[in-house]
């Protein structure tokens, strides 16, 4: 419970900081997320973002985004549908390079805090003309019965990317590598990476 309170306190402080930043706006885009033991799942993310100028072309860019991931696949037992809800808190250093006219390009890098709100898999299995529905909540799995979930909600990622800006509009692409193991078992290692393509508007 203390970990949850600390996380949401940090989120509230970040949200308050967005209002007082030198540049703030909103960003939305496409996400392709992969783990080392499964195929990619895709989705969207959106939320407020902000930038604070540090020195010269160097800025500190951060935000607070909601992310939704979806995937469905058919197999011998029927059809399984995955749904994942996450909160993303990117904390980046960003440097811009002006081009001709009103265009500029930029590069960014830094950590991204990825927090899982809910991940579940719903499987529909047809049996003798009817359907059996099975729901698995990933953060409730405790295979070894030790009283602790097997999967961690917290994922620290390290990312790099770049983009182009025209007036208040910017388009960017980035990739985040998962740094910590999301599975607590000693003989299992799961890391989550993601590719993002986003469109943003800064005031």
Both tokens assigned to 192: 């989550």
Domain boundaries, the chain: 2-202
Q: What is the pLDDT of residue 22?
A: 80
CA distance 49 to 202: 8
Q: What is the pLDDT of residue 147?
A: 86
CA atoms within 13 A on the CB side of 159: 31
Q: What are the CA-CA distances from residue 111 to residues 92, 103, 114, 197, 202 (Å)?
A: 6, 27, 10, 17, 21
Phi, psi of 154 (to 5 degrees): -95, 130
How many helices (H) and strands (E) in the chain?
1, 10
Q: What is the pLDDT of residue 18?
A: 52
Banded pLDDT at 19 (limits 50, 70, 90): very low
- Would you give the DSSP letter of residue 141? -
pTM above 0.85, yes or no: yes
- % of the chain exceeding 90 in pLDDT: 74
CA distance 119 to 82: 7
pLDDT per residue as tens digits for the range 145-171: 888 999 999 999 999 999 999 999 999
pLDDT per residue as tens digits for the range 30-80: 999 998 767 789 999 999 999 999 999 999 999 999 999 999 999 888 999
Nearest 5°: the CA angle 129, 132, 134 is 160
The matching CATH number, chosen from 3.30.200.210, 2.40.160.20, 3.90.950.20, 3.40.640.10, for 2-202 is: 2.40.160.20
Residues 3-32 as b/e (b if ≥16 CB within 10 A, e otherwise) read: eeeebeeeeeebeeebeebeebbbbebebe
Q: What is the pLDDT of residue 112?
A: 98
Both tokens assigned to 191: 């890391």
């Amino acid at each position: 419970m203390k970990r949850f309170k600390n996380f949401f306190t940090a989120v509230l402080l970040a949200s308050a900081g967005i209002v007082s930043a030198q540049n703030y706006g909103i960003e939305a885009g496409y996400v392709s997320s992969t783990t080392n033991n499964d195929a990619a799942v895709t989705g969207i993310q959106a939320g407020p973002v902000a930038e604070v100028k540090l020195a010269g072309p160097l800025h500190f860019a951060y935000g607070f985004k909601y992310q939704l991931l979806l995937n469905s696949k058919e197999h011998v037992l029927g059809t399984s549908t995955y749904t994942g809800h996450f909160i993303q808190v990117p904390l980046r250093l960003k440097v811009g390079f002006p081009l001709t006219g009103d265009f500029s390009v930029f590069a960014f890098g830094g950590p991204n805090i990825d927090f899982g709100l809910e991940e579940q898999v719903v499987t529909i299995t047809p049996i003798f003309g009817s359907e059996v529905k099975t729901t698995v909540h990933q953060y409730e799995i405790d295979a070894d019965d030790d009283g602790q979930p097997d999967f961690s909600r917290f994922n620290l990622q390290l990312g790099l990317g770049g983009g182009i800006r025209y007036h208040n509009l910017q388009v960017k692409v980035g990739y985040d590598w998962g740094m910590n193991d999301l599975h607590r078992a000693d003989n299992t290692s799961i890391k989550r990476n993601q590719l993002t393509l986003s469109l943003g508007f800064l005031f």
